[in-house]
Amino acid sequence: MKRVLLGSGGHARVIRAAAESAGQPFDAVCERDGVEPGPAAAGLPVLSESELAAVFPAEATLLVNGVAGAHGMAARQAVARRWQARGYRIVGVIDPRAIVVTGSVIDAGAQVLAGAIIQSGATVDEGAIINSGAIVEHDCHVGAYAHVAPGATLCGAVTVGEGALVGAGAVVGPGTMVGAGARVGAGAAVIRDVRAGATVIGVPARDRS
């Protein structure tokens, strides 16, 4: 089974390092037409989307989604859905330097990066990113294509909705809900529920939508 990395920018570079650390190297990188390959492509064949479909058939290829960052989680999800519609399987990666405790449930398409901690009873859905050094405590639920950024902490029984962002170094208090598509600013302290689509910043976090 071949493995192809979608995207070649900064996040893709981290994903490539995590996969290689886990003994799962890539056979190629796929980049959008007209986009100059980024650092994640070093030393690997670079294919356009049409070339990928021609060279690596769906039944013999696993794709790993390296799209994130400036493109946003909606763009990341759109890329995955486009390839899934063509019959490809999107798989994730768990960096061996992460701590994933027994009793947690990580979807096969999620990404858990170096230094992250996921405690018992936590669930992480398809396409979600638990970034470097993030902590997901017991009984939390991280929705599909949500992003828990580097150094962020979800205390016990937090729910993060689909496509939401918990920014770098933010802390979300126990039992709190971050609604779908919401954005929690870097370093914020969330002590009450965040409505879907809202942007909250500060200590304590306040709605700045």
Point out the residues that are catalytic.
Answer: 138
Q: Residue 127: is it exposed, middle or buried by C-beta count within 10 angstroms (0-12/13-18/19+)?
A: buried
φ, ψ (nearest 5 deg) of residue 178: -105, 115
- Considering only CA atoms, which of 109, 115, 108 is closest in space to residue 17? 115
Which bin fits 104, alpha (ψ -120 to 50), beta or left (φ > 0)? beta
Closest to 138 in 3D by CA, of 160, 158, 117, 120: 120
| CA dist list (Å): 164 to 56, 66, 73 | 32, 18, 8
How many CB atoms within 10 Å of residue 82? 12
Exposure class string for 88-102: b at 16+ Cβ within 10 A, else e: bebbbbbbeebebee
Asked whether the beta carbons of 127 and 65 are under 8 A apart, the reply is yes
